[in-house]
Structure 1
Amino acid sequence: MEKIINEENQGQAVALDKITGNGRKLYIESYGCAMNFSDSEVVASILAKEGFNTTQILEEADLVLVNTCSIREKAELTVRKRLEKFNAVKKTRPHMKVGVLGCMAERLKSKFLEEEKIVDMVVGPDAYKDLPNLIKEIDEGRDAVNVILSKDETYGDISPVRLQTNGVSAFVSITRGCDNMCTFCVVPFTRGRERSREPQSILKEIQDLHDSNFKEVTLLGQNVDSYLWYGGGLKKEFEKATDMQKATAVNFSSLLDTVAKKFPKMRIRFSTSNPQDMTLDVIETVAKHKNICNHIHLPVQSGSNRILKEMNRLHTIEEYITLIDNIRRILPDCAISQDMISGFPTETEEDHQATIDVLKRVQYDFGYMYSYSERPGTMAARKLEDDVPEETKKRRLAEIIAVQRENGHIKTREHLGKTEEVLIEGSSKKSDQDWMGRNSQNAVVIFAKGNYKIGDLVHVKITDCTSATLLGEAIELVVN
């Protein structure tokens, strides 16, 4: 379950440079995780070849698409409100078509198309190459749907346009789907089984970004540590591979090593990692390369072994702590972030306290914390009663957030007095006299603009901090 979610980007409409000769207008919004935003780039690339230019003005669109998320109930409610808005506009533009993409597609296709009749088209995450055919269907007045999940689609042959981009950093998807079957998660049902993308297509996409002067890439997947290329096919079928395929297989540490070597002047990040699959060779690869950032997102979800078992998380808290200790031993300056769920079914105060204890033990740099939201279709929804009262969930979540905030401030203060490399991403939101960038640990750093520009890698001395942001003084450009 990918949960690197930038709340500021949720629902932003995007606009690309217009292509001469394209006569139709596409309005596309994305919600949820980084994978959804990456998928929207694939969709925009496909539709640009079908005669569509993007627009940020809903009222002038010929085709409106919303890329959906089913991870949290809040995201689904937001999408439903947006669909109501789209249909209100549609009354004044009868020819306008509305489509739902992504993770809500499979689960709600009948409801959207037949019962509520609020969309013309429903397209699952593995069916974007079928969009030209589906659009022909809706142009001729018929509803269109394709939510078939694929065992091999990775979109490795499509060069994505960059939608939500600062021209500095970009996501590159390396896997699709997930095999882990955590009981709270819809991803295996909405995105299918896990398969990896061919390494050369990954390297080509990064080369294209490098040639376009991007400075940083994030290798992206539901579980990047599970990356395994042996000529194609599902990861779970690797045991059936030939001896030659097994001997020449590429795992995540090998891919990461290759990317870092081939692009030494680019920053490399990756997300999300899974405790059960992250191995020491991945950590050692990070330590070996200066251009791989010192930040690992390692979801724990709960500090209670009993709850972890109910979640079907295939690690114990003891194994998790051992992994944390190994990361800190091999990468002393590495930032570690977490995902945490409060109020999972049957969670007791003792279980909750175990989570608080883990937070205090690990002292994460930052985290993504939510109260449990039952998602239809998951094993937890089918087998477990959502029996923790809402007020208890909220109280426990508030306690988790309070500990994390305290830990975050402690970790932020550790940067004071240090000189760190910061990649400039854009202007500070609070002052157009300051730049905003991130250090290797993914912390936001603010400093005066001076003569620097977006995309510069700058040595910055950290002089002050807030609870979540570093403040500093630029010293000089980093010379690679």
Structure 2
Amino acid sequence: MASSTRAIGIVYITGKRSLFPLFSGKKAANRNFSVQEAFGKKVTCVNNINFTSLSGFPSQRNLSLSSASAHPSESSTSTSAASNLHFSNKLKNGPPLEHFIANSNLKNDLPLKRHTEQEHVPYIQKEIVAGNGRKVYFETYGCQMNESDTEIAWSILQNSGFLKTADVHEADVIFAVTCAVRENAETKVWNRLKYFQALKRKRSKSQTQIKIGLLGCMAERLKKEILEKSKAVDLIAGPDAYRDLPRMLAVTEHGQPAVNVILSLDETYADVIPVRMNSNSPSAFVSIMRGCDNMCSYCIVPFTRGRERSRPISSIVEEVKILSDQGVKEVTLLGQNVNSYRDTSEMNYFNNDGAVSDTSTNLSKGFKTIYKPKKGGLRFAELLDQVSDVDPEMRIRFTSPHPKDFPDEVLEIINERPNICKHLHLPAQSGNTEILKKMRRGYTREAYLELVHHVRSRIPNVALTSDFISGFCGETKRAHEDTLSLLRLVKYDFVYAFAYSMRQKTHAYHKMEDNVPYDIKVSRLTDVLEVSREEMFNANNGRVGTQQLVLVEGPSKKSADDLAGRSDFNTKVIFPNMEIPCDMESSNHRPIKVGDYVVVCINDCTSQVMKGIPLYHTTLQEFSKHQQNQPCLQDLRKINLPFLHFGYLPGVQDPVVDR
């Protein structure tokens, strides 16, 4: 076979083909050539494999050279026994494999027979990627996962010497952390980009020039369009590229755009401790897993965030401990499919009897997946058990789950632990079985309703919330009415609803027609919201006259005289800012501050907010023992509060309230 460049030999190590074929041109005819090996070692190949430098190869390995056309198993027959013996003798006392790799950090306990000098591989130096006090401004869109990603990105940049600013006008670097789930979210980002570009043009040449970056899901989905349509965007980083931000910013200093949107199979940022954007908040997010394997036909997430991978439980527990030490009172565990969590960081997991566990995923009854059952690993129930045990006075929430991943062991631990909030998010998306099938949700209307009944039987007084999509491909009027009837049957405490927005790359984009007119989508969405608000009001009204444990978050946005917090059910509660008793039996009063647990008597509500009167300070554990969902008039009569001088409390008119 004639060729100007030919592969004349391939190195085999222990019978496996190396990635480094040896090439030569006309010199191949002499079978005498030299190449710069990929690991940085100079290797000279001569007749009968006489290498003039063998210091880079691993010791005690069967290494032979065969023709490019030969099969590895035939390599020994193409080389004389004497040559093999000679070659083995030269390698016998050679260094181990890690010393063949320049700048390797691998450990090896074997004593070295001789010193092997490690070569330095040039790379960008720390001073080049240093922030040098440049100010970074973050603008975050979309879900809680993006908020968590912002904290991860900021942690990485802070360690490189960047500073954070809340004023976009004084920023040297502007990052938009983006969402690609719906078209409306992307439209907002495009509009903001124009504003950022205007700021960049106004910046004086004598000042540090502004760099604009897009992070997150939109960056991954529209990387090419962003660069072509928005020349002022200097940096594009996908959800798995935040570690690379300092280097990418260094690249942009030379006028080149920097792009890294590679999705990872193992990146979880487990070793990155997020820096909270609001250190005064009593709540924090902890990302426990990334990606999604469900492949719902409408959803872009698997294509923007990749496959599912989970952080080790040990790293999650350690982060929660740090937050507890900082005084955080509520942690929300985050993931695209948070309750499919599966820690596979250890090779083997063991049952109580000491046998290796290969337990398959235990799904909710009547639910299925498009992928094969996953075996082994520590599951969501184990994670909840360990996380809730860190601090009994710290609330634990989680979002966003999939209904399929609520086996009994998860429901049991939620019911048993007072600090795991009795609030479950069960995204239904539709109330019609045919539409659910098109969505590839893995369940029927009947299976979903059975799960709701089962959850409520296992966790009394649980609050349920959900997601719905109006106007999905092929949705008929009858299918829409099925969704409305599901809303009335389940009676959710809160509902998130959106008109369907087709996303590129999804199964629906390739296989279905977006055939529901926009005005019909909007009309059906309006119906869903109206029914949802009716049921949400009924749920909140059912708690009027009861006492609820509220974690104080800060001042109310609408009144400086009021405070705002959230109940165990994640419902916002508004109440007066006043001094209240230190506990249920105390005659001493003290002010209410952010991070306090207070008992609030609910006396009014809307569909989204409950209002009430603060009664006294308490602890999470104490409240769970005695006061959960109890009528509050008797407690009011025991406490000397100014409003009781009026003789009544609106909404509380009977000492026994049967709701």
Normalising to structure 1: TM-score of the pair? 0.91
Partner AA of 1:254 in structure 2: E
Counterparts of 1:308-457 in structure 2, within 5 Å, are 308-450=436-578, 451-457=591-597
Deviations 1:390-433 (A, max 9, x none): 11111111111111010001000111111111100011112111
Whole-angstrom distance in 1 between the partners of 2:287 and 2:313: 11
| SS of corresponding position for 2:495 | strand
Q: Structure 1 residues 165 and 393 mapped into 2: Cα distance closer, same or farther (>3 Å)? A: farther
Report the equivalent of 2:409: 281
In 2, the alpha carbon distance for the partners of 1:66 and 1:323 equals 39
- Aligned with 2:456: secondary structure? helix
Q: What amino acid does structure 2 have at the position aligned with 1:152? A: D
Equivalent residues in 2 for 1:58-457 (5 A)?
Answer: 58-93=168-203, 95-164=209-278, 166-231=280-345, 244=356, 246=358, 249-450=377-578, 451-457=591-597
Q: Give the direction of change, closer, same or farther, for the CA distance of 1:187–1:232 in structure 2 (3 Å limit).
A: farther
Q: Deviations over 1:369-389 (max 9, x none)?
A: 001011112111111111001
2:610 aligned partner: 470
Q: Is the 8 A contact 1:174 1:197 kept in 2?
A: yes
- Taking the aligned partners of 1:269 and 1:115, their CA distance within structure 2 comes to 40
In structure 1, list runs of 5 or more residues that go unmatched.
1-20, 234-242
Q: Which range moves more in the overlay, 173-182 or 271-280?
A: 271-280
The answer as to whether partners of 1:360 and 1:403 remain within 8 angstroms in 2 is: yes
Residue of structure 2 in register with 1:11 after alignment? none
The 3 A distance-change label for structure 1 pair 245 and 23 is: farther
Aligned-residue offset at 1:467: 2.5
**What amino acid sits opposite 2:258 in the alignment?**
A
What residue number does 2:627 align with?
none
Which structure 2 residue ranges, 5 or more long, are not aligned?
1-130, 348-354, 360-375, 579-590, 622-659
For residues 165 and 375 of structure 1, do their structure 2 counterparts lie closer, same or farther at Cα, with a shift above 3 Å needed? Answer: farther
* Alignment correspondent of 1:37: 147
Residues 126-166 of structure 1: per-residue CA shift (max 9 Å, x gap): 01111121111111221111100001100110110111454
Question: How many angstroms apart in 1 are the aligned matches of 2:196 and 2:357?
Answer: 49
Look up the SS of the partner of 1:70 in the other structure. coil
The CA deviation string for residues 273-297 of structure 1, in whole angstroms up to 9 with x for no partner, is 1112221211111100011111111
CA distance in 2, matches of 1:165, 1:258: 24
Q: Which amino acid aligns with 2:505?
A: G
For each residue in 1:329-351, what CA deviation from the matched residue of structure 2 results, as whole angstroms up to 9, or x when unmatched? 11121110010000001000111
Q: How far has the Cα of 1:446 moved from its partner?
A: 1.2
Distance 1:289 1:59 in 2: 47
The 2-side partners of 1:22 and 1:448 are apart by 46
Which amino acid is 1:467 matched to? S
Is the 8 Å Cα contact of residues 230 and 245 (structure 1) preserved in structure 2?
no
Aligned twin of 2:167: 57
Aligned equivalent of 1:46: 156
| Native 8 Å contact 1:196 1:232 kept in 2 | no
Deviation at 1:115, TM superposition (A): 4.7
> In structure 1, how many angstroms separate the alpha carbons of the residues matched to 2:616 and 2:256?
60
Q: Distance in 2 between matches of 1:24 and 1:186?
A: 34
**What CA distance in whole angstroms lies between the structure 2 residues aligned with 1:196 and 1:417?**
42
Percent identity (aligned): 48
Paired with 2:430 and 2:602, the residues of 1 have a C-alpha distance of 33
TM-aligned CA deviation for residue 56 of structure 1: 2.1
- 1:90-117 deviation per Cα after TM superposition (whole angstroms, max 9, x unaligned): 1122621111100011221112224542
Residue 91 of structure 1: SS of its match in structure 2? helix
Q: How far apart in 1 are the matches of 2:202 and 2:508? A: 43
1:298 Cα deviation from its structure 2 partner: 0.8
Measure, in 2, the Cα distance between the counterparts of 1:83 and 1:244. Answer: 53
Three-state SS of the structure 2 residue aligned to 1:262 is coil
Tell me the CA shift for residue 206 of structure 1: 0.7
Deviation at 1:67, TM superposition (A): 0.6
Any idea what the Cα deviations from partners look like across 1:210-246, whole Å, max 9, x if unmatched? 011010001111111100112169xxxxxxxxx8474
Conservation of the 8 A alpha-carbon contact between 2:289 and 2:311: yes
Aligned counterpart, 1:16:
none
Q: Cα RMSD over matched residues?
A: 1.6
- In 2, the alpha carbon distance for the partners of 1:178 and 1:394 equals 28
Q: For the Cα contact (< 8 Å) 2:474–2:516, is it kept in 1?
A: yes
Give the letter for the 2:341 counterpart: Y
Structure 1 letter corresponding to 2:254: E
One-letter amino acid of the counterpart of residue 395, structure 2? R
Could you tell me how far apart the structure 2 residues matched to 1:244 and 1:149 are? 32
- Of residues 426-435 and 169-178 in structure 1, the stretch that sits farther from structure 2 once superposed is 426-435
Paired residues, what number? 451
SS in 1 for 2:469: strand
The counterpart of 1:460, out of the listed 597, 600, 610, is 600
The answer to whether the 8 A contact 2:136-2:165 is kept is yes
**Hey, what's the Cα distance between the residues in 1 that align with 2:544 and 2:571?**
13
Q: Which secondary structure state, in structure 2, belongs to the residue aligned with residue 119 of structure 1?
A: coil
- Structure with the bigger RCO (C-alpha within 8 Å, sep 6+) is 1
- Letter of the structure 1 residue corresponding to residue 242 of structure 2: Y
Alpha carbons 1:166, 1:425 under 8 Å: kept: no
**Contact conserved, 1:111 with 1:117, CA < 8 A, in 2?**
no
Secondary structure of residue in 1 paired with 2:496: strand
- 1:255 CA displacement: 0.6
- Which letter does structure 2 place at the counterpart of 1:460? V
Contact residue 152 and residue 232 of structure 1 kept, 8 A: no
Amino acid at match of 2:567: N
Return the alpha-carbon distance in structure 1 between the equivalents of residues 495 and 280 of structure 2: 24
Larger Rg: 2
> Once the 2 structures are TM-superposed, how far is the Cα of residue 62 of structure 1 from its aligned partner?
1.3
Name the SS for the 1:27 alignment partner: strand
SS of equivalent residue, structure 1 residue 39 = helix
Instruction: Give the superposition deviation at 1:469.
Output: 1.3
SS in 2 for 1:310: helix
Runs in 1 of length 4+ with deviation above 3 angstroms?
243-248
The aligned counterpart of 1:15 is: none
Letter in 2 for 1:461: C
Report the Cα distance in structure 1 between the residues aligned to 2:429 and 2:279, rounded to whole angstroms: 30
d(CA) in 2 for partners of 1:289, 1:461 = 23
Partners in 2 of 1:166 and 1:372 — Cα distance?
37
Partner AA of 1:203 in structure 2: V
355-364 or 466-475: bigger deviation? 466-475
Secondary structure in 2 matching 1:292: coil
Distance (whole Å) between structure 2 residues aligned to residue 170 and residue 22 of structure 1: 29
